[in-house]
Amino acid sequence: MAFRLLHTSDWHLGRALHGESLLEDQVHALEQLRLLLREERPHAVVISGDVYDRAVPPAEAVALLDDFLTRTRAELGIPLVLLAGNHDSGERLAFGARLLEAQGVHVRGTCRRAGEPVALSGGGVDCFLYPVPYVEPEVVRAETGDEALRGHAAATAAVLERARADAAGRGGVRVLAAHAFVDGAASSESERSLTVGGSGAVPPETFAGFDYVALGHLHAPQSAGSEWLRYSGSLLKYSFGEAAQEKGVELVELAPGEVRTRRLSLTPRRDVVQLRGTLAELLGDPAHERHRTDLVQATLTDPGYVVDAVGKLRQRFSHVLEVQREGLTPAAVEGSFAARLAAAGGDHLRLFEGFFAEMAGAPPGEEERRLFQEACDEVLKAGRGA
């Protein structure tokens, strides 16, 4: 017999990647999550912060969260626990929290109730879950009146002491859900730093005293110092630096003195991929066919300048969001130009005609030739100092 908790975090509803909306991708991911809930039937779900991508989320993101919470409760009856991350506005997220609590949806936007657990039960086990949203050191200092309390490590320790003190007197299993950067864990480029000009890291030992700690903030799924201290990772890949990560959720089984975790994967609607090679290789390699509709970052290894690389790549990959050049130096560009000029027999007008035809799909007319020749004459004139 065990209490089964599904741990997820960092949904970032409303996010875009290089200007490409991910809302439909998030709809797809949450539908998969709902199917997993129907199959696995956990006794509760915890979302450990960064539910939204920004403090004032777009209306579509709010509607998506409302739909997920409403349908999950109505169709499956599973209690849900949400807490605010550093991307969320805690006050906005927790609007109507007391009404929602009566419906089995527990939302914590601030740390004021850090010592009050959400009492849950299932599998013959009582579970006391302590939701601790993102800790603002300035807010904690103002609440406690302790001016010596500085930085995330000290502020988080002060807040968690309230939860730990209450948990010490409880039976069953005790779970902490928190949004923090644990020292030693691996970060990703899509996470917003918790501090400006300093470290927001919290030592792993700060989280001692609980059977399991369901963490949010870092987007790579990982343990942080021990197996009971875990990040579930983000719902989707939110940067190209996360291309190799496998996204999913953690299913945690808890009994007194025993914790087991199982990774459940989520298959994205569109993958986030990094492709590397010459333009010809990227356009011709059959292995890339499966990435036609994925979100693509392409790194070109061609030695010289490539004309209209983005346009050509988009003929095969409909969502090329970023194109990088590897080893492209001024010398390489100059060498590429020299090679093209040599191929044109040293004739600048002929080189221009070829370039124009490549870009426009038709050779230049008399007016374009005249304007180009006038521009060349001006450059030569300036070079002679006339």
Q: What is the pLDDT of residues 84-99, one digit of tens each?
A: 999 999 999 999 999 9
pLDDT score of 10: 98
Share of residues in the chain with pLDDT > 90 (%): 73
* Those residues with Cβ within 8 angstroms of residue 62's Cβ, 6 or more apart along the chain or in another chain: 52
User: pLDDT tens digits for 227-262?
Assistant: 999 999 999 999 999 999 999 999 999 999 999 999
Instruction: Please give the mean pLDDT across all residues of the chain.
Output: 91
The pLDDT, as a whole number, for residue 278 is 96
- In the predicted model, what is the mean pLDDT of residues 313-340? 77
Fold of 3-265: Purple Acid Phosphatase; chain A, domain 2 (3.60.21)
Per-residue model confidence as pLDDT tens digits over 54-75: 999 999 999 999 999 999 999 9
Residue bearing the bigger pLDDT, 289 or 144: 289
Predicted local distance difference test score (pLDDT) of residue 358? 66
pLDDT of res. 140? 83
Cα three-residue angle 285-291-293, rounded to 5 degrees:
135
| Residue 59, number of CB atoms within 10 A of its CB | 8
pLDDT of 332 strictly over 80: no
How far apart are the C-alpha atoms of 46 and 105, rounded to whole Å? 10
Q: Which residues pair with 176 in a beta bridge?
A: 130, 213
Q: Is 104 exposed, middle or buried (0-12, 13-18, 19+ CB in 10 A)?
A: middle
Choose between 64 and 329: higher pLDDT: 64
Q: What is the pLDDT of residues 200-229, one digit of tens each?
A: 899 999 999 999 999 999 999 999 989 999
Residue percentage of the chain with pLDDT more than 70: 91
- What is the per-residue pLDDT for 196? 44
Q: Token pair of 69, please?
A: 């919470």
- Predicted confidence at residue 342, as pLDDT, reads 67
